[in-house]
A and B are shown apart, each in its own frame.
Chain A
Amino acid sequence: MDTSTHSSASSSANSESTNARERAPSGAMSSVSVGNGENRVSKATDKVKLKAEGVNVFYGDTQAINGIDLDIYENEVLAFIGPSGCGKSTFLRCLNRMNDTIDICRVEGKITLDERDIYAPDRDVVLLRAQVGIVFQKPNPFPKSIYENIAYGPRLHGLAKRKAELDDIVESSLRRAGLWDEVKDRLDKPGTGLSGGQQQRLCIARTVAVSPDVILMDEPCSALDPIATAKVEQLIDELSESYTIVMVTHNMQQAARVADRTAFFHMGDLAEVDTTDNIFTNPQDQRTHDYITGRFG
């Protein structure tokens, strides 16, 4: 992978996303001014943060992922797209070993974070998840106060010695998630009482509070309305300054708007990965071409 190309950003991503618009003419997303589509600048460096080599995933006897090799660069925004059931979420969840919680799931191959194998026997999964945070499809705040939602992670990892430090972490995390002004007067109110979009940003803040290196996002906007989606997308752009972000999305326009690079998954294969521009304007793989032009998916 030529790393110099993906830093050229998705300046013309919007032109190709018209393809998607044709497919979904009602697309409310396109009517919302996201403010980062054309002029976003990639913050990616050429340092490989996460590296997958020959990753196979099995659910029982069924193989869900077939030998994927992928490099993920520091501070880039990488989007996984592909039809339902193509394995993009499964692969994403391999990156912080969330698949460990599924009994029948088995992962083969090698995934390294900063050149250290994350599936090594001596690797502590708790530490790994503190480094590679995850935001889920459905906002899932704890049924506790907003403050407790954010404070839980830092407290768990002993990141704050005193109450004041914890308060600082809570405030800065909420600020990063663009939620501070909306909730600063009701930190003691339950996080579940927020709107869907606010809940999702609360979940992002909760992840940010542990200061991970990488944030995984599994369709973070699929349960949100267009305005909330726009806010989250803007947030992703801002977060990419300090975090590596890998997101799964069903929405190709979203990939086009926020991602530096896009990976197209198909039936457990990584069909193609390239700069978002190239994927949408000049796909090399026939399957990618068929998918983004709406032949299937």
Chain B
Amino acid sequence: MELTGAEIFVRSLQDEGVDIIFGYPGGAVLHIYDALYRQDKIQHILTRHEQGATHAADGYARSTGRPGVVIVTSGPGATNAVTGIATAYMDSIPLVVFTGQVPTHLIGNDAFQEADNIGITRPCVKHNFLVKDVRDLAETIKKAFYVATTGRPGPVVVDIPKDITAEKTEFHYPDKVSMRSYNPVHVGHAGQIKRAIKLMLDARRPMIYTGGGVILGNAAGSLTSLAQLLDYPVTNTLMGLGAYPATDRQFVGMLGMHGTYEANMAMHHCDVLIAIGARFDDRVTGNIEKFCPNAKIVHVDIDPSSISKNVKVDVPIVGCVDNVLKAMVKLIKGSKQRPDEAAIKEWWRQIEDWRSKDCLKYDHDSELIKPQHVLESLYKVTNGDAFVTSDVGQHQMWAAQFYKFDKPRRWINSGGLGTMGFGLPAAMGVQLAYPDATVVCVTGEGSIQMCIQELSTCKQYALPLKIVNLNNGCLGMVRQWQEFFYQGRYAMSYMESLPDFVKLAESYGHVGMQIDKPGDVESALKEAMAIKDQLVFMDFITDPAENVYPMIPAGGGQNEMILI
């Protein structure tokens, strides 16, 4: 039987196993919306802005490991989605974004709500497709999911002109698809793995540095086995938190610009660096000239272009991190050689010495609420077991420093692009994937206002998020840099007016709370967490002068941290 393009779209998603899509209707996708209306297998979540739809799908993808699916209309629908697509691209998150397009015969005519979606999204997608024939639609959708979820994952855009969704053809959804131009590597090179192991076992001051790739590659278990087999210290990047249990002794905290003193000092002084699924981002390395000056570097990554991009490495291994880590564990177990016990013991003594600086300390006796205190209390009240999303800025760094993630896919933030406005819609995606879980969005009064309209979506779908708004009345990270590097000229980092967040939350149908005394922080969090069926917006009035420490100033090496 022949189906319309719109029906093929819906059937393809069903066959792909998609259970939820995020989107916003419009002229070019009306046939598709009509087909969605006439089925009940796929739930459609109507956000209040296309950026919200992409971030929500992104949160769903990060927390589940399954691809997030988005549908938006042509023109402004697609351009509004671009920030969300770029966010997913920078963090290698699998998304499939369907954009409506004007009918084929109008493409290039500056038609109503026309934009060059393929051209606009090209630099921020893993790949994109324009469907020019309804007979190609099902296979193109299959390819989109295949490309988005394999290799180094990433967002894929499929642009569908309106006439294609009305035309009819026979429907067949392929079971699998192969592309001669796209063949991701799975297994690491055996010889390289052996070379790496030799280096690792000979190390006297080893360091394991892992990134988002370990989480994306579902390799947290293998990483933990490897690290514990060797008793080597582990640091995670911002994107990698949760890949190694943060409460374990071997974890030295996050590294980088706002990482711990012990993590950065250990990086600087190590003699063998084992980098796994991490990409030597500038926020991690600090000044590249001063980065790990004495280390031989092993780098495991699925993307060859990540290797030796910023830092030249000694033993590159291209492959799925989980496969490579499992191979390493097996080979080390089978090897007679063991790490030099005395050297490793001395190395740990040195690290413990750095750790004793207690670089994350803050003033516990302040009259004002310290944001760090809110995060510590949040960790305690949620037993360290919540999903935590964040926006971008100081609150993001404090969440990363003070919430100890023991499991992967629990910490959801925009690391690469640093997108303010990400936290709330991402939390919606997480809550929809895990309806009974505690999902907390840690945010600030600046970031939250960038996608605040999604509070309305939360009401429509009864999403009981817990929003922790660290309200210091200013764009904190901007203010911090202005204090440190612009002699306190606080250019445009204070908003002259802010809404009453309690009333705002209430007007959307949620529960609002304001907390302004340090003594009330924990009880307020407990009270909020006890409300299981409603969204609670907690507006914490925090110390506006608080800064994120420690900090590597721009141009500094990892051993040049500013401590409080």
A and B associate: no
The chain B residues found within 8 Å of chain A, CB to CB, are none
